Amino acid sequence: MNIAVYVRTGQYLEPAGKEGVAALTGWLLAHGGAGTNTAEQMEERLAFLAADLGADVSDTQGSVSLNLLSKDVEEGFGILRDALFAPHFQADKITLRKQQLLQEMKQRNDDSAAIGKRYRRQDEIGTPWAVTVDHQTLEDETVTIRDRDSLDQQRVSISQLGDELESRLRQPWTTPKLSE
């Protein structure tokens, strides 16, 4: 049996400077404990029931779902209710998720060939500027903007990124391909 609850929420509601908090909240709803249960107790109970609790917050909606055997539906509804109305946001689970996301980012960005492939894919579909978040971003809150046509790269402060992109959008469009 699969039960899903959809909520009108999403990343579009994230406050400026708090990007990612919606996705973190979604993950914590499924992994952070709820009601009178710690995260570990909830994981143990779900495993005993052979059930899976999932949650996700996308751009325009959030969802919490529970997959379990129909014989356990009453207890399942209790778990789902707790996840929705009495979630825990255990500090150790927040730290764990941040570490997992950082590790995923490091693994994805460790392979320089993979980075080049991602740039080329974006070039092929016509993305004029690629914005790259990397390990340096975590240290100094800057990102790299890569220009598709000139291949120039520039580091800018995250706080100035919107202004920089707006400035580039307002400039007359040119491409080296037309001058050939």
Q: Is the pLDDT of residue 50 over 90?
A: yes
Residue 24 covered by a domain? yes
Residue 106, in any domain of the structure: no
Residue 17 has pLDDT above 80, yes or no: yes
Euclidean distance between CA atoms 85 and 34, whole angstroms: 8
Count of the separate structural domains present in the chain: 2
DSSP-derived letter for residue 11 is G
Question: Quick one: CA dihedral 160, 166, 168, 171, positive or negative?
Answer: negative
Give the domain extent around 67.
2-100
Compute the distance between CA of residue 35 and CA of residue 111 in angstroms, rounded to an integer: 42
What's the pTM value of the predicted model, to 2 decimals?
0.56
Q: What is the pLDDT of residue 20?
A: 85
Same domain, yes or no: 123 and 77: no
Q: Is the pLDDT of residue 3 over 90?
A: yes
- Is residue 120 included in any domain, yes or no? yes
CB 14 within 8 A of CB 21: yes
pLDDT, the chain, mean: 88
CB atoms within 10 A of CB 107: 10
For residue 178, the model assigns a pLDDT of 64
Q: Is residue 177 part of a domain?
A: no
Q: Is residue 71 part of a domain?
A: yes
Do 70 and 137 sit in the same domain of this protein? Answer: no
